[in-house]
Structure 1
């Protein structure tokens, strides 16, 4: 058990993870630059092909925000697995570092890194003509949904990283989370999809999250979508946290 304050250990672990992020250009590209590249591609290359009833940049931005959330998750999964498989945790135990601080450091670093990615995507969207009608409270509500989504998916990602046997499989484990936004209403409305895919898009967790964001930034909050989004995020966060704690205790 650590003799230092747990929050002090957590700050140290967070600083460590930030340094790892800055020193890894692939992580920075996947987390921040790749979502911007996708935005440019979807809006300028494919945007005219989609009929969504509003300017496509206004429609696509909430979905691209969610993509920015998911695209940086593989770095967290591999980092957590690397800590477990390369003996780093054993070194921390010798150094009398709080066990919980290791996971907390990964969570805080991922939330901060992903928040920067989301801010970058929104900033570029404004440069491309994004024109939301949200009031200040609606912007705060949208930010709350985004942060809750980041928090929930981060804990699930940490659990996946701890459950994986190797660093390579840990990175692959996050692929379903990265792909889910493509099978949601992020790019086109779910009702325009074919049978089967449409039903999947309507009932998967990311669609109500995106529709909730879309409603807030458009100035027309969707209560049903927001309730569903919060419920999905709470469920994902609870499963991820409990699973991660159990796997960490077993492996550490």
Structure 2
């Protein structure tokens, strides 16, 4: 391992630890990271669950939870952009500039720390889901694979949000801009209702929406699908794990270098 890579990993670990300590010292972040998932699970399970019929007779709780998982981790990834914008606004990035540290470690540490928050959110949602009737019907390894698919995709979205935070530089604007993009992306998908209920144009978009693939992959890995129900026609939903991996690799390949370059420009001002 080269000394440069070793230094980057070491610096990234320090920044990750700093961001996690900040979460510990700001209880509001933990409260909203845990209460919001619980609210979504209970709201959709008991308010909409009786009105939505799922093909094949699978319970709505088992249909719903993978969708809630995906929506929450995607929304949770927006914390990355808002946090970076806040650090820029408060001048913390200028302090990092004066230290002999790897430039990319600031972004790596931020995205890894936010991945930790998503792990916490998923754990809370899983426990809440078990209470309202959600169950995993596959092996331990497949269940772990389902959670990993969700977290890997969320990690990719965090890098996209990192670039937004560096370009916008105001936490409030980052939150508003993220909401405009992510809200339709998570709702025009198979997160809460079957795709068969969508109009043709929206259904086509939803079938190729990466969020739909993440949800479908999680449902299959958790065993929350019904044997014998026809497989969706779209290749993306027939191969949801592969499609999710492709999207994540593309997002990281595009937005990691763009984010690092934007950070270098910002830090050199």
1:226 and 2:241 are equivalent in the alignment:
yes
Matched positions, count: 250
Off by >4 Å, runs of 4+ in structure 1: 219-223
Unaligned runs of 5+ in 2: 228-236
User: Which of the numbers 117, 120, 131 marks the counterpart of 1:113?
Assistant: 117
Evaluate the alpha carbon distance shift between residue 178 and residue 30 of structure 1 in structure 2; reply closer, same or farther with a 3 A threshold.
Answer: farther
> Once the two structures are superposed, what CA deviation does each residue of 1:145-180 show, in whole Å capped at 9, x if it has no partner?
122112111111111111214222122232122442
Superposition CA RMSD, Å: 2.2
The corresponding residue for 1:42 is: 44
User: Which of the numbers 190, 204, 215 marks the counterpart of 1:199?
Assistant: 204
The corresponding residue for 1:188 is: 193
Q: Distance in 2 between matches of 1:170 and 1:250?
A: 19
Q: Distance in 2 between matches of 1:63 and 1:25?
A: 27
User: Which of the numbers 79, 83, 87 marks the counterpart of 1:79?
Assistant: 83
Shift of 1:25: 4.2
1:147 and 2:162 are equivalent in the alignment:
no
The corresponding residue for 2:65 is: 61
Contact 1:13 1:106 in 2 (8 A): yes
Evaluate the alpha carbon distance shift between residue 7 and residue 225 of structure 1 in structure 2; reply closer, same or farther with a 3 A threshold.
Answer: closer
The DSSP-based 3-state class of the residue aligned with 1:42 is helix
The corresponding residue for 2:35 is: 33
Contact 2:84 2:169 in 1 (8 A): no
1:244 and 2:259 are equivalent in the alignment:
yes
Q: Distance in 2 between matches of 1:24 and 1:179?
A: 30
The DSSP-based 3-state class of the residue aligned with 2:200 is coil
Evaluate the alpha carbon distance shift between residue 201 and residue 42 of structure 1 in structure 2; reply closer, same or farther with a 3 A threshold.
Answer: same
- TM normalised by structure 1 equals 0.90
